[in-house]
Structures are given as C-alpha cells and as structure tokens.
Structure 1
Amino acid sequence: MAVQLFSPLRLRGLELKNRIVVSPMCEYSSQDGFANDWHLVHLGSRAVGGAGLILFEATAVSPEARITPDDLGIWKDEHIEGLRRITSFLEAHGSVPGIQLAHAGRKASTFSPWKGEGAVPAEQGWQTVAPSAVPFSPTYPQPVALDQAGIQKVLHDFREATRRSLEAGFKVIEIHAAHGYLLHEFYSPLSNQRTDNYGGSFDNRIRLLLEIIDAVRETWPAEYPLLVRISATDWTEGGWTIEDSVKLAKVLKDKQIDLIDTSTGGNVPQAQIPVGPGYQVEFAARVKQEANIPTGAVGIITTAQQAEDILANNQADLILMARELLRDPYFPLHAAQELGVDLEWPVQYQRAKRNK
C-alpha cells in the first residue's frame, strides 16, 4: 500500500508533492513588517528539508493587525521585494509558498513572547479593534468596537494584501480565522456582543469572514487555492463548538474554500485545553467527514507514523507541523526514510542520504 504522507495532493491548479505542511509560526523577528535574512533561512531550510507546502507566519494586513511590533507584514508595497526573495527560493527547491493573512483584533499591540506579557507600553503600541469593546484579559489592551467604516477598512486591507501576495510570488493564501484573532472574535459568541448585522445569529457572526473571502477572491486567481484556518472549538461553555465548525465548513465549501486548517482555542484565557499528542485531529476528522471538505490536521503531530496514520484513517488530507519542524527542519527527508520512501534529496546533500 502506498505511503500517503508522500503522495501528491492537487488543490485547484497546484499540486503539492507531499502532505507535509510547515504550519504558520510567528517568528517575531521583523522591523516595520519587513521579511529579512532570518525568514529566508528559517523558511528556506524547510524547503531544503522537503516540505510540500510552506505557510509563512501570520502576516499582518495592516500595522494595527499585528500581534506585536515585531510581526511580519504585508500592508505596503515595500514589503513585496523581501517576500518575493523567499518565495522564489522555496519554489526553486520544490516547495509551494503560501501566506497566512491575519488580523490580530483585540490580541494585538502586545509583547513578543520573550520580551514580556500583555500590552506593550502606549508609546510602542496602537489602538486595537474588535467586534466588541471587550479585552481578551485584564492585561491586554482595551479594544474599540469596529464601526462600519472600520469593517470596510479591514476588507480593503485584506484585498490589498491579496494583491501584494500575488506580486510577492505566493501560490496559496490561508485566511487566519482562529486562535482568538479578529475573525474568530467575530464568529465566537464569547467575544461578539454586537446587535447589528455582524452580531447575534450564527449567520451574522460569520458574515465578516465570508466578506473577506469575497474580497480576497476578487484578486486571487481561480487556479490558486484559498484555505481558512479555524478554531474548531473554544473549549469553553457557551462558546463556539465543533457543531458550529461543521456548519461553518459547509458554508465555506459553498464559498469554494479548498481546505480547512483545523485548529482549536485561543479566544478566552481561561479555557481548559486537554493538550496531548494529536489532540486536535478529531476535529479535523469531523469537519472533513461531516462537511465533506478537505482538512488539515495540526497539534502535537511529531512522528512519521502518527502523520501517516492520520491520513490512512481518512481523518485529514494534510498534516501541518510546527514544533517538530522547528526541532528538525529535515523531518520530511527523515520521515521518508522511516516509512521506506526513496525521496529525492537536494543534490548538495546527496552524499549524506545514506548512513555510510
């Protein structure tokens, strides 16, 4: 039986050479949003290591969309050149370059993890926005509720970020609608207290996500895939549930979204999350099976056999890996050896392919 982890996957006009995806991982290593040598080496080494799809970290569509002052950005044309340098390298080494377009909402204007916690000082930060004027926690900034003009600006920013993504050489866009950031804040009843067309009912709470999909599709070519990352559950009473996610996934399928990257949590600080190996896979499986749409599984997937079993059991179509690919940029090459697949190595590394 063929090894599924190293079987190709076609999404629209693209073919991924295998099912291993570099999950978007914030590096908090930018100045004014610019990509630099760190991003080239970090992402480039995962292409040399054999990943099929490499998703750049959450990339801010506006300055106020950043999680921290150190986030990667795509809010101005000057960002394009540095990003294009990296996408060209990834493609030259057989990986498809993808970008996660993001708006941090009420979780913006905070410290990078190794610099502190909570809101940055006022002179370093900016006014955050959210569906409602409710902070993430007492140590986070106080957001203002987006008015109609603010919502139109968000749509404009995603539209322009899409244009820049195309010019920068990306072939996949993932819309970040997870982890307590702006779009998740809108669809979760825990953070959305609005009474207008963007609040209250399920259809109203998902409205902004659908409008952003339409805005992105205005510019994004039909032959290129469009993915959405969701948090499949808030892990909190009265919050967003897996049943809501299946319902949303059916809507996203009708919107011709190509794959749902299925994560969980992040919208409220007190959530009790049972973290462990593959703890989110069940959600990817339910979305895939009940909404009949391709999914990506993520969350403490660390071994070749674990990844292969997820695919073999029809629980997901792609395996997104984060920490394991930080530990081992060449995981795909090593996983292929473990699973008995004769994978082509970069010519520069051929002499190390066999343990001789």
Structure 2
Amino acid sequence: RGYAYFTARRPDLTQIQLYRVGLDGSGLARLSTEPGVHQVAWSDDRRFYLDWHSSHDRPPALSLHDASGARRATLSEVPAPALAALDLQLPELFTVPARDGHPLQARLYKPRDFDPTRRYPLIVYVYGEPNAPAVMDNWRVWPPPGSALYEQILLREGYLVATIDSRVATAETKAEENLILKQVSGPIEVADLTDGLRWFKARPWVDPERVGIWGWSGGGSTTLLMLTRSTELAAGIAVAPASDRRTYDTKYTEPYMKTPAENAQGYEEVSLVPRAKDLHGRLLIVHGSYDDNVHPQNTWRFADALVEAGIPFEMMIYPMRKHGIADRAARRHLYKLMIDFWKRRL
C-alpha cells in the first residue's frame, strides 16, 4: 500500500516505537503514541495490527489499530485499582556518564521510605550481552522471569536496586557493534560497568562497601566478568553463567567472536576460567544440572578453578532443571536463596 512499517529505538534508546515511511522515502511518521515499548503483530491482510505496549510506570496493555495507526479497540489493560493494590515501587530511568562521556542507560528503584541522608546497600542487575539492553522503558516483568517481584522484595528489605547497560548492550551503530568484535565480555564492558558502578558508589545515599551484582545466563557471565576484573563489588550471584565462549552456542557466539580456529587468542583472553583466581568479593554460583543452553560444564570449570586457587565460594545446583530453573518450587527456592545470600554478604 505504498508504505514500509518498522519499529525503532526512538526517541531514546529505552523506547521502541512504531513508524511508517513511504516507499519513496517520504512521509516518515510515528504511529505509536504512548511512550515506552511497543511490540506489534500484523493481521494476515496487513490492514490491522495488535500493539502490546507498556512503560516503566504503565503495565502492559493490548490494543487493536488499523494501518493508519488509529486505535480501534483496547483489548486488555490493568485496572488502576488493581495496580494500586500491588503497592509497587516504580523505577527512575536516566543515564550515567562513562569515562569518555558516553551516556550509559541506567535504572534505579528506591525503597518506599527512602531517606537521602542514609546510606543503603545497592544490588545491581546486569545482562550485558551484545544488542541486548536490560534498561528499557517497559513494565519490568522479564528478564529473568520473576525478578520484578524479587526486586520489590529487595526494596522492602532495605536495598537499592539498579541496572546498568554498557554501550555494547545498547549499540545503535555498526561502529558500536564492532567494538566487541572478537572480544565479547572484554575490556569495553568492564570499563563501562566499572564507570557505572563508581557513579552509583559516589552517591551520598549508597554505601560503597555494600554493592553487589547479579545476573542470569549472559548476566551470570557478566557477573563473573566484573567479580574477576573489577574490585568495585562486595558480592555477586551468577546464575547459569557461560564461563568460556568455547563451550557455548556457536550460532550465538561466532557472529561476534568468529570461530576458535580464527580467533584462538581472543577466546582465551575473554575466557573467565583463567580469571577465577582473581575473584574479588563473595560469590554464589547457580546452575541447573539439565541446562541445555549454557551447559553445566561452564560452572564446573569455573568452580574447579576456584578450588584450585583456594578461593571459597557458594554453589547451588538444581537437579534436573534446565536453563530457566522454571518450576515453581525451584524458582521460589532460588529467590529465597539469593535473598539470604544478600543478607549475609551485603
């Protein structure tokens, strides 16, 4: 019908909006109206689309639109009284400067009774994989599943909860993507996350001696990265981490790292196993024994290196659980375990 439709991370990197433009390049227009993140699914005849949208302060809603962007119906939304009854703390979204001035996306939750004259322990969630931002202007449900309510519990326990994205996670140009070519989980991520951590630690309401980090899957890898290549952290939890890119999915790894034959030195340099001896802070490492995404050998090898180095750590293996450790009993057990770890280590 003469238009191309697309989504883009505009007007800033935390949002995803729907646009259309004429096939001749004219008439660029934004069709989505609410701020936040929009996920669109078109009808087979391309006359209508469904828009699943939310923001950091607005729960997901589902609406029906025609191809011009006009809303035809609201199909699902959370009633205001139901949302109020949850008594949730909502986050602040902002940027913090890296050492070269590059803006790093950040999110912060504060406890309900936040007192700026006090110093609070801080827990930072990270993911950190290429083109996989964790700080988005959407309703915090995933990743990982259940973590949004877990974060609310941490707030009630008196912690600040933050997220920082390196420029690798938010790359919007080919030049930024190429920064980590052949060195995923390398110096770029370490520098950016270190700068983000130092910014938070310099706030008068953060206790700089009680800062922890955690993540799942790629975030678990980033947690090990920061605990072994930075001295900014007191403790960390790595769930299902990939400790060596040579033992992870080639389809995911090789577009960035190339093959081990082509980039043997690069794979060795970004492997976290030889760095285990440099661990700073207390570590809890968690894995499912049936993980078919990040194979458990990643945890076995890192744990063995810690043993060889004489470094104490904590470990939990969930028998017969896969990458998501997804059943109700295991998930509840895991989040209780993590809360207990923070209470003891921060």
TM-score norm. by structure 2 comes to: 0.36
More RCO (CA 8 Å, sep 6+):
1
TM-score norm. by structure 1 comes to: 0.36
Q: Which structure features the higher share of strand residues?
A: 2
Q: Which structure features the higher share of helix residues?
A: 1
Greater C-alpha radius of gyration: 2
